[in-house]
């Protein structure tokens, strides 16, 4: 009853084994910045996300 694979989500079985590409620019993501390739892309995503949230709240 100790199956470590049971902990893994089965949502993307056919995903690339090397990891997902950066959601911003599509380059290979780094473990330190997943799911991004760099802090810059992480900041871009964060600002986008905040921007949308602010637009929703101010609407
Ligand atoms: Zn990137």
| Distance from residue 51's CA to the centre of ligand 1 (Å) | 19
> How many whole angstroms separate alpha carbon 53 and alpha carbon 40?
20
| Distance from residue 27's CA to the centre of ligand 1 (Å) | 6
| Distance from residue 4's CA to the centre of ligand 1 (Å) | 31
| Distance from residue 10's CA to the centre of ligand 1 (Å) | 25
Return the pLDDT at 52: 76
* pTM recorded for the entire structure: 0.55
How do the domains of the chain map onto residue ranges? 20-59
Return the pLDDT at 16: 47
Is the per-residue pLDDT at 15 higher than 70?
Answer: no
Distances (CA, A) of 57 to 19, 36, 51, 53, 54: 34, 27, 10, 6, 5
């Amino acid at each position: 009853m100790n199956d470590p694979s049971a902990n893994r989500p089965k949502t993307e079985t056919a995903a690339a084994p090397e990891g997902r590409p950066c959601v911003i620019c599509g380059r290979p993501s780094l473990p330190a910045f997943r799911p991004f390739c760099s802090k810059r892309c992480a900041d871009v995503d964060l600002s986008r996300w905040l921007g949308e949230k602010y637009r929703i709240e101010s609407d």
